[in-house]
Chain A
Amino acid sequence: MARDVAVVAVSQTPSYRLFNDSEAKLIMRCVNDLLTSTGLERIDIEFTIAGSCDYLSGMPFAFVQNIDGVGAWPPVYESHLEMDAAWALSEAWLRLQLGDIDVALVIGSGKSSPGQPREVFPLQTDPYVMAPLGADPVSLAGIQAQALIDAGKATERDFAEVVARSRRDAMGNPNAQVAKDVKVDDLLQAPYFSTPLRKHDLCPISDGAAAIIVAAGDRARQLTDTPVWIRGIDHRIDSHHPGLRDLTDSPSTHIAADAVGLHDGPIDVAELMVSYSSEEIVLRNALGLDGGTRVNPSGGPLAGHPVMATGLVRVIEVAQRIKAGEASRGVAHASSGPLLQQNLLCVLEGGK
């Protein structure tokens, strides 16, 4: 029987096109915000875990300087993932299952603005047969989108509708980078960038950070009147060879959905890590979402994509809606790797 773990406090910076200062400073803002809102001292945090990407920062061990944002003293019990911080949350949840500690801090941060994301991310792909081609996630998303069209599962208009809805919803999100009311017909007039995708089908390049405090059982109840419980968290992976997959589906998402008991109850809200509009079609189908679920009310990553924090922001957005009483049960999704290669699901629920 798993120990109950809840999200007790959340913080995120806006998504900036360019934040002209250090990643550590972004993190510092989130950490100070969390300590203020919970009344915790830094010494009360028993485990700290961060997700960030040294390749994006352009410096080996850049993640070490990020710890400045947490405070250099007293020493922290710290772990780091070269993964989106949603995976850091998964590790924090696992760490709290050991039962000897109750409070953990999870941080995600990334600055995509200094580098060339389309040149960095091919390094995630197979080093022999893909990376030397510069196989970038934007081009691979274009291939996936074309496969969806060829399979009759989506149209270019479907992609544009995802974009229009996301950008419109983002107008209510103070942290969004791209928020405006745009017409689908106007979007469809734009030139292609990675056929059949247009630039607006792609997530923006963003700088930003996010952090949350999670706590176990009664400690969570002490720290907040509105704990948001993690009812299931699971992540799965598909082959890194795109030729071995049906690109119009996401088998790893199906498996994760079963593992977290997604369909054991209604889902009021889903925040999905849709980095390209076409991915929303794949994910909606894989998760079996219907009209009863509001998808990406924050605008999602198409409105702001602070790489390495983006997945954790999905958890934050769902938790905030549950805290506010707008939803009682929701799912956060995070992805890593091109073509939705790795998928994480976290089912969240309100209640004492």
Chain B
Amino acid sequence: MPGIQDVSMTLEFPYQRTTGPVIGPFLTGLRDGKILGSRCGDRVLCPPLEYDPDTSAPLDTDLVEVGPGGTVRSWTWVVEPTRKHPFDHPFAFAMILLDGADTPLLHAVDAGASDAVSTGMRVAAQFREERTGAITDVYFVPEGQAKAQDITPGEEPVTISEHLIGLHISEPLYPHRVRFAQGLLDGRILGQRSPASGKVYVPSNGYDNMERTEMTEADDVEVADRGAVSSFTIITPVQYYGQKETEPYIRASILLDGADQPIIGVDVRDIPVDEFRVGMRVQAVWKQPDDRDVAELGNRFGGAWEGVIDRWEPTGEPDMDPRPLQEFAF
């Protein structure tokens, strides 16, 4: 039986952006081993822009090649790279004024050690073996260390930039969530009774948001593991990024006996969709203690019921009047 652990999750957003008439050719250039800038009056801007940064006038979309050599205008030595950085070992971020350009480009210099980097030093571009049409296709090295590269251009122009954002979130379960989680492992459902209103919230957020009152362990109360369906929806899954469901399923709100707030988003799989209804009395059938798992329990919303409860089944009692349950839909 896994115990109570910190919350740890990765939040991902896959972004796809169109590149437009300037960034598209710029990224295409990187894939093909060239760095391009845009003309702006008598200056050359790199990275290139669609618009004059001073006047906002549209710029010529005919780009000019700059580099591959350049001069460091300012820099920092990154002692502890993040997972998002271009290198997993210490490196320099630098503002690099490429030969032929008038504005510096922010990029990474793989220089080995911080004392190898200085303002005014010469660097040169190196292209990665695998290139996708992204700013990360290139990096820089001290000019003397640059190797000649034979780069085969790609075929289609780059029109989409893909960027998968992945953020790690990790934090302890909040104290009231730890007690709730322990309750689930013990086969009990814990809520909290508001000292201000007397209402019982399940699972509790640790406060009464109606009365703006914080709650403590002294406010913990146990509620029943049975109740009435107060609302539900049948979800037909759409195959978006990350979707794991393929068949329609029920998500229900259940007002547990002794609670003043329904538990929501409860996954119901074993009661036929056409028999499910508001007012139906249901009860939890718990998993065996050794099989209960609260690893999915986070600090927000919901109770991770699926980790501890095997299924919900009808009690066979008469239905509750659905009308008062309207107050407990969500």
Interface residues of chain A, those whose CB is within 8 Å of chain B, are 18, 20-22, 24-25, 28-29, 31-32, 42, 55, 58-59, 62, 65, 68-73, 113-116, 118-120, 122-123, 126-136, 139-147, 150, 191-197, 239, 241-244, 247
Contacts and interface: CB of A to CB of B under 8 A. Distances in A.
A242 B106 contact: yes
B161 A128 contact: yes
8 contacts: A127-B17, A128-B27, A133-B86, A143-B76, A146-B74, A147-B73, A194-B79, A195-B75
A18 B170 CA distance: 11
Contacts of B79: 191-195
A243 B95 contact: yes
Given A115-B167, A143-B76, A239-B53, A135 B106 contact: yes
B171 A146 contact: no
Contacts of A242: 95, 104, 106
Contacts of A126: 47
Interface of B: 7, 9, 11, 15, 17, 19, 23, 26-27, 45-47, 49, 53, 73-80, 82-86, 93-95, 103-108, 114, 119, 134-136, 161, 163, 165, 167-172, 174-175, 205-207, 209-212, 214, 299-300
A71 B209 contact: yes
B91 to A, nearest CB: 10
Given A126-B47, A143-B76, 10 more contacts: A22-B174, A25-B207, A25-B214, A69-B212, A128-B17, A133-B85, A141-B76, A142-B76, A192-B79, A194-B79
Contact of B136 (A132, A193, A197): A132
B108 A65 contact: no
B82 A128 contact: no
A147 B207 contact: no
A142 B212 contact: no
B29 to A, nearest CB: 12
A116 B161 contact: no
Among A114, A116, A239, the one with the most B-chain Cβ atoms within 10 Å of its Cβ is A114
Given A128-B19, A143-B74, A143-B75, A136 B82 contact: yes
Given A128-B161, A194-B79, A21 B175 contact: yes
Contact of B78 (A31, A113, A139): A139
B167 A68 contact: no
Contacts of A58: 9, 11, 167, 169
A197 B76 contact: yes
Contacts of A120: 167
A20 B168 contact: no
A42 B213 CA distance: 14
State the 4 A-B residue pairs at the shortest beta-carbon distance, nearest first.
A142-B76, A134-B84, A58-B169, A68-B209
A129 B94 contact: no
Contacts of A127: 15, 17, 161, 163
Contacts of A134: 82-86
B27 to A, nearest CB: 7
A28 B106 CA distance: 42
Given A21-B175, A71-B210, A243-B104, A119 B167 contact: yes
Contact of A195 (B19, B77, B86, B171): B77
A38 to B, nearest CB: 15
A193 B80 contact: yes
Contacts of B108: 133
A147 B53 CA distance: 22
B78 A147 contact: no
Contacts of A122: 84
Nearest to A67: B209
Contact of A133 (B77, B107, B171): B107
A91 B83 CA distance: 36
B172 to A, nearest CB: 5
Nearest to B91: A139
Contacts of A143: 74-76, 93-95, 106
A192 to B, nearest CB: 6
Contacts of A128: 17, 19, 23, 27, 47, 135, 161
B119 A150 contact: yes
A68 B106 contact: no
A62 B299 CA distance: 12
Contacts of A21: 174-175, 206
Contact of A116 (B165, B168, B209): B168
A321 B41 CA distance: 50
A177 B11 CA distance: 28
B85 A72 contact: no
Contact of B300 (A20, A59, A192): A59
Given A25-B207, A28-B214, A146-B75, A113 B106 contact: no
Nearest to B84: A134
B24 to A, nearest CB: 10
B111 to A, nearest CB: 12
Nearest to B19: A128
Contacts of A192: 77, 79, 114
Nearest to B103: A243
Nearest to B300: A59
Contacts of A129: 23, 26, 47, 105-106, 135
Nearest to B211: A71
A96 B146 CA distance: 60
Contacts of A247: 74, 95
Given A128-B135, A130-B106, A119 B83 contact: yes
